[in-house]
Amino acid sequence: MTSTASKKIAYQGEPGAFSHQACKRWFPDNVPTPFPTFEAAFAAVNAGECELGMIPAENALAGRVADVHQLLPHSGLKIVGERFLPIEMMLMGVPETELANITVAFSHTMALLQCRNSLLALNIKPEMFHDTAGSARALSETRELNRAAIAPEIAAELYGLKILQRNLEDAHNNTTRFLVLTAQDQVVEPSAEKILTSFVFGVRNIPAALYKALGGFATNGINMIRLESYIRDGIFASTFFYAEVEGRPSDHLLKLAFEELAFFAEEVEILGVYPMDPFRATQSS
């Protein structure tokens, strides 16, 4: 890997997006490098152009990011970490304006929905835009005094805007989980005590196939914290599953569980073995 690549971390979206903010927060020594699509970000990491990728996998309110589940298997990338970013929406305008001047706020549809009640209370009309960070960039170009953008704090810093109101989001427990990815040949076995293993597998279209495939995890006392199904290649009879369990595959009991899984499942692929983020411990059961 080149020295240039070792200083870059790939993300999908415009500069000033939440993914950009996540890169800056946890990998300040890497240069955040934007790509228009998840596919392009994955390809940059796989080719060695970027050392790492910061990819959103799920949101507490909006659910999983389906593209990531489809792209990760057979991608040549592995998960080496997880990070949880609180989604804090900032209402921002040009430096010359004040909150009292704002009649319209524009942003991505999801951001507007998450700030609906706050906008109503401020008597500000919502207006859809294709991207949160893009709305901040657009406002920095138009310089309208009566319009505000809803975007991450980093977008205000990047585009020279003033934050008019912080934490505009209606639900303050909204969080996005990011996966940190790297090329397969760069993976180092984690030494942390609490470890997660992510994997995918398929089951044959026969009765009780999933029950039998998962039996080894139950009998060996493995805590499975996530199990999601998804359709692969548009074939409804070909159901695949994304799963996460506590432990590393080399642990005796988890090794036995994977051996039993192999009898009833097909195309089992380990996507990553990585430390559990301490954020999980702050969540009540």
Catalytic residues: 176, 178
Distance CA 99, CA 146 (A): 9
CB neighbourhood size of 98 (10 A):
10
Q: How far lies 264's CA from each of 69, 115, 164, 215, 221, in Å?
A: 21, 46, 57, 10, 19
Cβ atoms 151, 16 nearer than 8 A: yes
Angle formed by the axes of helices 209-219 and 252-264, nearest 10°? 170
Distance CA 95, CA 145 (A): 9
Residue tagged 């359709």 (tokens):
231
